[in-house]
Amino acid sequence: MSAPRETQAGTNATAFVLEAKQIEKSFGATHVLRGANLRIRRGEIHALLGGNGAGKSTLIRIISGSHRLDAGSISIDGRLDPNPNAIAVVFQELALLPHLSVAENIYLPHRKCAFARLGEAACYAEARAALALVDEELAERTLDWPVAQLDLHERQFVEIARALSSGARVLLLDEPTANLTFSETERLFGILRRLAQQGISTLLVSHRMGEIRALADVCTVLRDGRSVLDRVALSDISDEAIVEAMGQKSSAVSPPAPRGAPAASARMQIVLRSPGVSLSVASGEVLGLAGAPAGPSGVIETLIGASRPAAWQITIDGIDVRFSSPAEAIRAGVGYVSGDRAEKGILATLPILDNIVAAARVADRRILASSREATAAQTALDTLSIKASSIDALPQTVSGGTQQKLLLARWLAPAPKILVLEEPTRGVDIGTKREIYAMIRDAAAAGCVVVWWSTEFTELIAVCDRVVAFDLSGQASGVLDRDELDEVSLSRATGMAA
Amino acid sequence: MVIDQRAADRPQPGKRASLVVRLTRIYRTEIAIAMAIVVLLVGISFWSPYVLTWGNLANIAQAAAPLILMSLGVFLVIATSGIDLSVGSTFSLTGMVAGLCFSAALPWPVVCLISLGVGLAVGAINGGLVTVVGLAPFVVTLITYAIGASLSFVITDGHSIAIADPNFWTLNGGEMIPGITNFVLFCALAVIALECVLRKLVVGRWVFAIGSNDKAARLLGIPVHGVRFGVYVASGVAASFASLLSLSYISNSESTAGANLMLQAIAACVIGGASLFGGTGSAIGAMLGAIMITVIQNGVNLIGINSFWQGTVTGAVILVAVLIDRATKVRS
Amino acid sequence: MVIDQRAADRPQPGKRASLVVRLTRIYRTEIAIAMAIVVLLVGISFWSPYVLTWGNLANIAQAAAPLILMSLGVFLVIATSGIDLSVGSTFSLTGMVAGLCFSAALPWPVVCLISLGVGLAVGAINGGLVTVVGLAPFVVTLITYAIGASLSFVITDGHSIAIADPNFWTLNGGEMIPGITNFVLFCALAVIALECVLRKLVVGRWVFAIGSNDKAARLLGIPVHGVRFGVYVASGVAASFASLLSLSYISNSESTAGANLMLQAIAACVIGGASLFGGTGSAIGAMLGAIMITVIQNGVNLIGINSFWQGTVTGAVILVAVLIDRATKVRS
Amino acid sequence: AEGAKTFTVAYIAPSLDISYWQWVGYGAKTKAAELGMTYIEMDSHNSPADQMTNVRTAITRGVDAIVMGPVSSTSTPPVLRLLKEKKIPIAFAGIGPQPGETDYTSAVTANNFEGGKAEGKFVCALAKERGGNKVGMLSLPQDRENAQKYLAGAKESFQADGCELVQILQTKGLTVREAVDQANDLLTAHPDVKAIYGMYDEAATGAAKALQTRGLVGKVGLATADGSPTTVKLLREGVVQGLFLQEAGGQGIEAVQQVYNALTGAAVTQSLPLPLALVTSSNVGTPEAQAKLKRVYPPSAGDY
Ligand SMILES: Nc1ncnc2c1ncn2[C@@H]1O[C@H](COP(=O)(O)OP(=O)(O)OP(=O)(O)O)[C@@H](O)[C@H]1O
Ligand SMILES: Nc1ncnc2c1ncn2[C@@H]1O[C@H](COP(=O)(O)OP(=O)(O)OP(=O)(O)O)[C@@H](O)[C@H]1O
Ligand SMILES: [Mg+2]
Ligand SMILES: [Mg+2]
């Protein structure tokens, strides 16, 4: 271990710009951080890894000052009373102000003097400059829109632009890529590399091994609030070893289990058509959708009955169907899970029980919320090995990755014929992701048609039978069969060049 | 070896806490209010020996009944993250319509049906404007409140009407089940039924789901518009029924009868643990909130506190109640 | 979450719209209300030739002034997604305190300072309970409303007080700037200042930021507690100042003076485009909302509509206004 | 006033939510019609600011005279100042102007203090008849000066006649619904109360209801001021023993007559207190009582 020696190095050029030592933090009875260490050098890109609930976000919030620490110390440039302006954070849950303009969202947080003028020209200039770094087109188009009108990935850009424009020397990015496509991630990484050369350090939290290796030099791994790996060079350690350190099965990095063919009796044929495209999917297949949101969202909204003027026509077993409401779609056997848990999935004030059985209630036209539902919900939790204190607890008492599994658990009982997934692994750790892939394959094996949009090409490649690619304008630009699937072909077809 | 503390803290998966524990957890706030009410009653009895007499408890029940019914309706709306400001004037208007019907010598069950139509109509207008047109509940019900209050003067030209029907009192004071006065029966039935609907029927869960996250609810196939429409109608009908019960008791309809009730009903829900952002609370809580308000009123009168001080006392008691509730929540 | 429809007309890429276009877009609702007010005035003039006389417009302004000031304060609170139900009783209590001070023959500027302390105190209590203790604004201000209303009876034992100070009228009716009566000046200054603060100063944007997403605001380092505390204090002080202005005009303090004002002030904000979920609206909108309410009142009286019908007319006019606003929003 | 200009009179009520003020309006309207005057009506919603606005609006509309039930006496000086300037005659109904003010045409009031005294005497006698000396009161909100004067008068009588006023409850909303609850609480807290003083109709109606449900009709005496179809009926049924009629309609009638006189140059009476007449179960049928009742409320309100 070279770590202790480095700490001694003290004040020379290689000194740590950020150093968090033995951080302890509890929320009530939950001991979240139990002596976490994090040390970042100037100009370094540092990966902070760990399973869901390991304490990464908590550590970041402590460093940024939005949580108080119970014990330990934080120093920046060797000083214990850190200048808050030295740090900029991209929060995992996106700290955006939906009614305020994009420009203000980027510029306002840097202003600390309450009664100063918020110079509009300066605001727009600075915001445009920052946003143009990550996305020219967005900067031209949206500066004076309220953030509420942006898509999730556009919001993520705004959040990143805010961090970039802060002038901070350390960027703490908590899963900034969770909502980005492959090429968008690439663009971000280009910027971060450039900043690194200018001496700006980045702490990156991500659950995607590929991109971590592509960007970061060093990693720290948290497990149950402790740093089990402290400043290990990524070149010195295998994925398996990292995953093991995170406390998850090392098999998680290997490809998903082979798929089984669905029973012949359950076969079903779905045809999706829009002007110029016709896609036929059968039971047992996982159809991937790749590309920027504009294209896939049309298919998804039509399939789940969310939008009335449907862009796509659906034929199921030769019969044209048209869902005028999500309820109709659900009763026809369409299941839906979105990665946008907070907005489109979780019922935050209702216990886990209700969250799980909500779909079955609609699908079965249930009238009674019977006690049998509790059994079913518990079974669902057990089947997916979801760790929750009880089905009567609120969803906010489990980690985000676990919440995502709750959404999938919804569809165990109604057993949909078509399962529509919208980035279902967003923000989920490697182990959990792996479980979700297995669930997707299991669903297909059970005779389900799976339609799955993901911006993470690697998972599409690993799990899908076929992928429809959409270009940036939202037009379907090609269908890739399993043997043609690789990142290059996907990037080409989606116009999101690598 | 490092022992994972957290895993040890976790309850065994696959087990559910016992029913009693679960109920205690679900009804934490309600139990706290119930206890607060008991403490209040006992406290008052130090000043006034009469407070815990049977007769006085009956008075409290009679005085609370209409407010309880209204609060239940308002609670439904609040649970969906809406608000109903129109219930007070629906109460008044219902009374005036009933008064006119009685003047026309209609038999009382017919009068009741017609009068319930007032609440139905106001609720349907509220529900329609909120769901179909998409206006904000506060604005919609503020408008129907103003119009309803105005119409309850217009339709009788401001005159109050004494109800002469000798049998109408049975609605409130009769005993459909011997030994239990009707108003108690109605309140109990309404609370139990509503609590069961909210806990045990899917549609009840939908009410909370909508209040919790209405976009997610829609995507889950929940008929958001239908349920939302329904809760406004229910709220209107509850206000009308409350008015009839009150009318049956006091046999006098007046245009201002419901003026103070709206804030009281909302306060009852909030005291009972409902959040105005929706998704939480219970029918039992709303009922207890209404009882608490009535008990404070009763206590102030029994102790003989100058009525000028009543608002201060009421405010202070509610403040203490919510502070205690807050403190216990933070601690747990 | 309420998505602001306003910017739905997406601007052309590459260019920032001109100032006029931008202002038209920002103040879409406000322009609509201003036009509605004009239409209303012209409409009324078909029935009553007096409505557009100078004297009547001055009447409207005088009648609207206290409501405008109160609405501005309430708007600040609403913009942070809070609510202030206590302003009506702060208005009454301030008047009574001022009345007592006048009875003690204090000079009027001193009286004004003391009386503004009432709003300051109530606002600070509201702000403290909401921020430090973390209670819901509705509950907190319902409590202070009840207590304030009660105390405004208690402190003079219910007696109203005539103000004898011969100079106090200058607060409202004097002309600090020759040619402009003070109350007009105060209202104009308050609206312009507030609108500038809200649009141009960092703290103003913070107000909307908190109403938009207070969790995010906290993460971004915005002093959420401080700003929130501030808006409640501002609301209290605005209510007190409104009360003093009114008192200066009618030289009579009454325990019930503010009873109807709370709902009117909230309605003014909502009519003016504010959402009760926070983050939207403008000071100008709140002012126009208050003017609209006053104009309706004035029109009803000028036309001579039976006062029983006033609520119906007011409700109907507001309904039409919000429906038109809604329709134009959907279309764009 | 043949061929002369048609006068317009505005009635500005403190709150038309209250039937008393509606009836004043009825009297004023009837009299105005009789005199060939145009009649308009405005509501101050218990707010002195609204009242001032109403006065100004009335002036804008060009009214010739004003009949006003002021929100309070203390709210009258600025109104009087304004009307003096405009030379518009004003007559008060129900509540008089601030003491010391002189620039008004007439104040048609009830003598609340004397009324309170008379009713206090009557209620105390009711209690004594029933073998006790404890009385309770359901009062108008004590922020009104008529209420304060009633109370002062009643207290004087109770003191003089040896009755003890054990509790005063005020009804905020002036509704029967609240009054019932309050009467119940009063009777619970003070089971030895032998008579109840009702200060206004709804209070007595509520108290009557409480007595009826408790089986105390006749056992606890009840009297009230004002008078309405409901309380007249209760009087006939013997639930209420005495009504101290306040001529609501009569006040409107007289007030309009006074401003008409001022406009036409006829003699006016500046202070015109109308007596409160006692009506009891035994004399309610008499022509005199019936005539009095007709000056209280309009036929449309109910039977006399
Ligand atoms: N405010 C809080 N109250 C109670 N528990 C909390 C709170 N914040 C975090 N926790 C708990 O702390 C643990 C660590 O959470 P944290 O968000 O830091 O995890 P993470 O490593 O960021 O996970 P992920 O990869 O899912 O983002 C979680 O198990 C969570 O339940
Ligand atoms: N009052 C609370 N009690 C228990 N847990 C809480 C509470 N408040 C927040 N939490 C938990 O704290 C964590 C907040 O951290 P965050 O949302 O960043 O991580 P996460 O949701 O666990 O991560 P991921 O989305 O990557 O799985 C969540 O798990 C959330 O459920
Ligand atoms: Mg995290
Ligand atoms: Mg997370």
Per residue in D45-74, pLDDT (tens digit) is: 888 889 999 999 999 888 999 999 998 888
CB A406 within 8 A of CB A346: yes
Cβ–Cβ contact D141 with C under 8 A: yes
User: For residue range A78-123, what is the model confidence (pLDDT) as tens digits?
Assistant: 787 767 788 999 988 889 999 999 999 999 998 888 898 888 889 9
To 5 degrees, how large is the angle CA D231–CA D232–CA D237? 90
Amino acid C1 reads M
pLDDT of amino acid D172: 76
- Nearest CA-CA partner of B83 in B24, B30, B143: B143
Ligand 2 atom with least separation from CA of A174: 18
Cβ–Cβ contact D98 with C under 8 A: yes
- Nearest CA-CA partner of B170 in B258, B223, B245, B253: B245
Distance CA C293, CA B283 (A): 36
- Which residues are CB-contacts of D286 (< 8 A; sequence separation ≥ 6)? none
User: For residue range B232-288, what is the model confidence (pLDDT) as tens digits?
Assistant: 999 999 999 999 999 999 888 888 888 889 989 998 998 898 988 899 999 999 999
C-beta A436 within 6 A of ligand 1: no
Distance from the alpha carbon of residue A402 to the mean position of ligand 2, in angstroms:
10
Ligand 2 pocket check: which of A174, A352, A396, A423 to mutate, most ligand atoms within 8 Å of Cβ?
A396
Cβ–Cβ contact B221 with A under 8 A: yes
Distance CA C121, CA C100 (A): 17
Question: Which residues of C are less than 8 Å from D148 in CB distance?
Answer: 158-159
Q: What residue owns the CA closest to ligand 1's atom 26?
A: A52
What secondary structure does DSSP assign to B127-196, as a single string? HHIIIII---HHHHHHHHHHHHHHHHHHTTTT--EE---TTTTHHHH--SBTTB-HHHHHHHHHHHHHHH
Nearest residue of A to residue B200, measured between CA atoms: A369
Ligand 1 atom with least separation from CA of A398: 31
Distance CA A443, CA A440 (A): 5
ipTM score assigned to the predicted complex: 0.86
Q: How far apart are the first and last CA of chain B?
A: 32
* Helix locations, A204-321, DSSP H: 209-215, 239-245, 294-303
Phi/psi-derived region of residue A175, left when phi > 0, alpha when psi is between -120 and 50, beta in every other case: left
The verdict on a CB contact (< 8 Å) between D57 and C298 is yes
Nearest residue of C to residue D40, measured between CA atoms: C304
Q: How many CB atoms lie within 10 A of CB A190?
A: 13
**Pairing relation of β-strands D271-274 and A476-481?**
unpaired
Phi/psi-derived region of residue C251, left when phi > 0, alpha when psi is between -120 and 50, beta in every other case: left
Nearest residue of D to residue C152, measured between CA atoms: D143
Under DSSP, the state recorded for B276 is T
Cβ–Cβ contact D41 with B under 8 A: no
Return the SS3 of A68: coil
Helix C182-200 vs helix C54-79: angle between axes, to the nearest 10 degrees?
30
> What's the pTM value of the predicted model, to 2 decimals?
0.88
Q: Which residues pair with A337 in a beta bridge?
A: A421
Amino acid D141 reads P
CB A438 within 8 A of CB A257: yes
Distance CA C240, CA C66 (A): 10
**Pairing relation of β-strands D106-110 and D271-274?**
parallel
Distance from the alpha carbon of residue A304 to the mean position of ligand 3, in angstroms:
29
What is the token pair recorded at A109? 């947080």
Judged by 3 or more CB pairs under 8 A, whether A touches D is no
As a whole number, the mean pLDDT across chain B is 90
**Pairing relation of β-strands A16-27 and A30-41?**
antiparallel
CB A289 within 8 A of CB A464: no
Burial class (CB in 10 A: 0-12, 13-18, 19+), B326: middle
Under DSSP, the state recorded for B50 is T
Ligand 1 atom with least separation from CA of A397: 31
Q: Which residue has the tokens 């319902």?
A: C142
Distance CA A164, CA A160 (A): 6
C-beta A283 within 6 A of ligand 1: no
User: For residue range D102-144, what is the model confidence (pLDDT) as tens digits?
Assistant: 999 999 988 889 999 999 999 999 999 999 999 999 998 887 7
Asked if domains A18-249 and A269-494 share a fold, the reply is yes
pLDDT of amino acid B43: 93
Whether residue B5 is predicted with pLDDT greater than 50 in this model: the reply is no
Q: Which residues pair with A34 in a beta bridge?
A: A24
Return the SS3 of A468: strand
C-beta A431 within 6 A of ligand 1: no
Could you tell me the sign of the dihedral formed by the alpha carbons of A139, A140, A143, A149, in that order? negative
Return the SS3 of C270: helix
* B95 half-sphere exposure, CB direction, 13 A CA radius: 37
pLDDT of amino acid C12: 43
Distance from the alpha carbon of residue A396 to the mean position of ligand 3, in angstroms:
13
What is the token pair recorded at A415? 């057993």
The verdict on a CB contact (< 8 Å) between C252 and D77 is yes
- Which residues are CB-contacts of B265 (< 8 A; sequence separation ≥ 6)? B67, B70, B71, B73, B74, B87, B88, B290
**Pairing relation of β-strands A277-282 and A269-274?**
antiparallel
| pLDDT tens for chain A, residues 1 to 498 | 344 344 343 444 457 899 999 999 998 778 889 999 999 999 999 999 998 888 999 999 999 888 889 999 998 887 877 677 889 999 888 899 999 999 999 999 988 888 988 888 899 999 999 999 888 888 988 998 999 988 888 898 999 999 989 888 899 999 998 878 777 888 899 999 999 999 999 999 998 888 899 999 999 999 999 999 999 999 999 888 888 898 887 665 555 555 555 555 567 888 888 877 888 888 888 999 988 788 888 889 999 998 877 778 888 888 888 898 999 999 999 999 998 888 899 999 999 999 999 999 999 999 998 888 999 999 999 888 888 888 998 998 887 788 998 999 999 888 899 999 999 988 888 888 888 888 888 888 888 899 999 888 888 888 898 999 988 788 888 888 888 888 888 888 887 654
The verdict on a CB contact (< 8 Å) between A124 and C203 is no
- Which residues are CB-contacts of C202 (< 8 A; sequence separation ≥ 6)? A108, A111, A112, A113, A114, A115, A116, A117, A118
Q: Which residues line ligand 2 (CB under 6 A)?
A: A 52-53, 57, 92-93, 396-401, 427
Q: What residue owns the CA closest to ligand 2's atom 8?
A: A396
Distance from the alpha carbon of residue A178 to the mean position of ligand 3, in angstroms:
11
Ligand 1 pocket check: which of A173, A399, A429 to mutate, most ligand atoms within 8 Å of Cβ?
A399
As a whole number, the mean pLDDT across chain D is 91
- Enumerate neighbours of D (3 or more CB pairs within 8 A): B, C
Q: Which residue has the tokens 């509220």?
A: B126
Answer yes or no: CATH 3.40.50.300 is held by domain A18-249.
yes
Distance CA A16, CA B109 (A): 83
Torsion of CA C40, C44, C46, C47, to 10 degrees: 160
Q: What residue owns the CA closest to ligand 1's atom 1?
A: A27
**CATH class for the region spanning A269-494:** alpha beta
User: From residue C100, how far is each of C93, C156, D258 by CA, in Å?
Assistant: 11, 8, 36
As a whole number, the mean pLDDT across chain A is 86
CB A90 within 8 A of CB A109: no
Size of interface B-D (CB pairs under 8 A): 95
The verdict on a CB contact (< 8 Å) between C260 and D98 is no
Beta-sheet strand order (sheet of A476-481): A334-338, A418-422, A449-453, A286-290, A466-470, A476-481
* Helix locations, chain C, DSSP H: 19-26, 28-47, 54-79, 87-103, 108-128, 137-154, 170-173, 182-200, 202-212, 214-219, 224-250, 261-271, 283-303, 310-331
The secondary structure element, H or E, covering residue A156 is helix A152-164
Distance CA B272, CA B292 (A): 9
Question: Which residues of A are less than 8 Å from B279 in CB distance?
Answer: 347-350
pLDDT of amino acid C131: 96
Amino acid B252 reads N
Ligand 1 atom with least separation from CA of A401: 26
Cβ–Cβ contact B171 with A under 8 A: no
The whole-number average pLDDT for the span D26-31 is 94
User: For residue range A177-226, what is the model confidence (pLDDT) as tens digits?
Assistant: 887 877 788 889 999 999 999 999 999 999 888 889 999 999 999 999 99
Judged by 3 or more CB pairs under 8 A, whether A touches B is yes
C-beta A400 within 6 A of ligand 1: yes
Distance from the alpha carbon of residue A443 to the mean position of ligand 4, in angstroms:
26
Domain boundaries, chain A: 18-249, 269-494
User: For residue range A155-181, what is the model confidence (pLDDT) as tens digits?
Assistant: 989 999 999 898 888 999 999 988 787
CB C240 within 8 A of CB C116: yes
- Nearest CA-CA partner of A371 in B200, B27, B202: B200
More confident residue, B21 or D144: B21
Distance from the alpha carbon of residue A224 to the mean position of ligand 1, in angstroms:
10
Cβ–Cβ contact B280 with A under 8 A: yes
Torsion of CA B291, B292, B294, B297, to 10 degrees: 170
Question: Which residues of C are less than 8 Å from D47 in CB distance?
Answer: 254, 256-257, 259-260
Distance CA A335, CA A338 (A): 10
Distance from the alpha carbon of residue B7 to the mean position of ligand 2, in angstroms:
17
What is the token pair recorded at A327? 């309820």
